[in-house]
Amino acid sequence: MAYNYSQLVANVDRVLSSDPRIGISRIAVALQVDRHTLVTALKHIRGVTFVRYRRDRLLEKALSLLNSPTVLTVKQVSFALNFSSPQSFTRFIRENTGRSPRQIMQDRPPQS
């Protein structure tokens, strides 16, 4: 069966937007395709593995929340993104940006 890889990736984006920590097997079940088809689609369209793509999307979402004008605590952001603890969230942010969540929040533009 021929798949529209662009459409599959758009559907993966939609699912990751609602649950950025979901696994590829659950996405495949939700979209009714084989997980290897999703891997191929992401590699073909985005040039990255699913794990890398999901991590990048999770990081984008985390940075968006940390830079949001709505004042959220690190704990609130970590639980909103389904991290098991604020410490694991902090570790994820530090490993991917070289900065702590608090440093990122301190550097956000002031509210008007």
Summarised one tens digit per residue, pLDDT across range 10-51 is 999 999 988 888 999 999 999 999 999 999 999 999 999 999
Render 24-87 in DSSP notation, one character per residue: HHHHHHHHTS-HHHHHHHHHHHTSS-HHHHHHHHHHHHHHHHHT-SS---HHHHHHHTT-S-HH
CB 5, CB 17: distance < 8 Å: no
CB 53, CB 41: distance < 8 Å: no
CA distance 36 to 94: 31
Summarised one tens digit per residue, pLDDT across range 61-112 is 999 999 988 888 999 999 999 999 999 999 999 999 999 999 999 887 666 5
